[in-house]
Homo-oligomer: A and B are copies of this chain.
């Protein structure tokens, strides 16, 4: 499970739902009351602070935690996968064979990994509300909001030297500055074979019972020395017992728990069908490329993995959207809120038009949806780098407040890291992806579409894909040089992708601006109003929707009803070998040879994975599972299939977070990988 990066923005309204056990709580507003009532537990300030400072954000979509005083960071193998793949070469594939450095000197530095640790949070709601006035028209409000966001971020960054992001909670009910310590010297210490990290492959992904050692350990360096810190989670190999209270501290990406029916229906009828089709087209293209030779397979592996993961998650969500029972629940919630709102005339006059305003905006969105979704070379890394570079050069020539969102001064450091990353781009793979995307676009928009004509310029799809994939953008030095040359160098370039992106930039900006002016400018304030209406009606004991910022979830370790029977709360190593044997050790269920060789060293009773009712979603991958003593007892790596609909509705009946057990990790480090040095470092 990995955070899904959406192809176009799905406009969401973050209203917390009214269901039982759910909640992704900010650290400044932990669920004291619920924890007291349900588990007779009250977290102390120190307990919360320790966990906050031990939690790590992987900016490309995951979480992690400090597990030693010497900078060791634990996350999932699938969160680390991109880095592992970038470190690999035709000579050595760390994804396949795994890695272990038994001394600091053997650790490998990541090419472009930025980790963040949340240091402080400041409530800036008043500052923003005094600038963005409630009587402004939507367009002016949007502009004002962008401006004050950029200025507050810049001011905070300069003052604190910390990465500073404005975080919008409760749809604008609250605004905060989150300040992060950034770490960019991150080195690989341990990774198992992907075959065991992702055991069961795509079939077992998003399911339970499960048998995955989905872990990777990095080490953070500062000034070329391992980071020394007292903020880490003490390792507890005994783990949590059945029904024990546990917590998850991590960075859930996004939830859409209480969209309006208009948005819900839009997702079901337009957004998801289009996304699913695009995923399938891209996977097919990469597989066509992969089968040609083993080197191609190695190049495409991570993207295929990531796309299949997104596809399976999206299918689960789409199934939820199509489920009449869930639709009925949604409709009922919306009706109830609106009907209760109608009893309070003052509130009603302020907020009641929001639903129809959103509905009208979505009708507009639908009228241009095909253009907005299909007019892009989505999936091509060259196209993405090209467009970013064109914009970067043009935007950084302007003063900060006039820049396109994403190119403000405070956002540049991370952007440049990605833009100039030395991570390889594969020209031959690009050709397959671009060609497949062009076919997909033309099948929907037709050959006479303005974008299609712009890309093809009367050439064939094959000729175009070939030409674009030869772009020099593949080379980080070329990107650097072009950037240094500024607007004049950019405008002189004859590189085919740069030429296309120079032309496309205007079209793309028009679409983004149109969306901002026609959709976001209505949907954002209306969503904000609905959020406020919800609070006015139901009170404030709710956690905000996920925003890929640090949250605390709680729950208990427990099995659930599954497929007519019950799923256990944990799995054991014996089950790993059983699953292999029941599939005759074939395909996705083949075990690494190492495991067969060392089978007798492994305790078949040792726990491997376990489930808890903690409320998580994509982005939480790599989060620590923590017991009431603040010790780490597990490593979140997935949700079960029943949890996928959790994007829209939290169902505590069968929604479970799936984790690697700390005891299971130790069992493997000791008896499979002979990682004595690492074991003694972790065990302190």
Contacts and interface: CB of A to CB of B under 8 A. Distances in A.
Interface of A: 200, 203-207, 209, 242, 312, 316, 324, 562-566, 568, 570-572, 574-575, 577-579, 581-584, 589, 604-605, 640-641
Contact of A564 (B207, B572, B579): B207
Contacts of A200: 565
Interface centre among A204, A574, A577 (most CB of B within 10 A): A574
A563 B641 CA distance: 7
Contacts of A583: 568
Say what secondary structure dominates the interface of chain A.
Answer: mixed
Given A574-B577, A575-B575, A582-B571, A565 B605 contact: no
B563 A577 contact: no
A604 B563 CA distance: 25
A26 to B, nearest CB: 31
A579 B559 CA distance: 13
A203 B560 CA distance: 11
A574 B580 CA distance: 11
A575 B578 contact: yes
Given A242-B584, A312-B564, A577-B604, 9 more contacts: A204-B565, A562-B563, A571-B582, A572-B578, A572-B581, A574-B577, A574-B581, A578-B604, A581-B605
12 contacts: A200-B565, A205-B565, A207-B563, A207-B564, A568-B579, A568-B582, A570-B582, A571-B582, A574-B577, A574-B578, A578-B578, A578-B604
Interface centre among A206, A312, A574, A578 (most CB of B within 10 A): A578
Contacts of A565: 200, 203-205, 207, 641
Contacts of A568: 579, 582-583, 589
Contacts of A563: 207, 562-563, 641
Nearest to A585: B605
A450 to B, nearest CB: 41
A582 B577 contact: no
Nearest to A640: B564
Copies in the complex: 2
A489 to B, nearest CB: 51
A178 B434 CA distance: 68
A579 B203 CA distance: 20
Contact of A582 (B204, B572, B582): B572
Interface centre among A564, A570, A574, A604 (most CB of B within 10 A): A564
A200 B207 CA distance: 21
A578 B203 CA distance: 20
Contacts of A584: 242
Contacts of A572: 578, 581-582
Contacts of A582: 209, 568, 570-572, 575
Contacts of A209: 582
A564 B604 contact: no
Nearest to A570: B582
Contacts of A562: 563
Contacts of A566: 203
A206 B564 contact: yes
A89 B475 CA distance: 84
A564 B641 contact: yes
Contacts of A577: 574, 604
Contacts of A564: 206-207, 312, 316, 640-641
Nearest to A605: B581
A466 B312 CA distance: 59
A358 to B, nearest CB: 29
Contacts of A204: 565
A282 B562 CA distance: 26
Nearest to A574: B578
A4 to B, nearest CB: 16
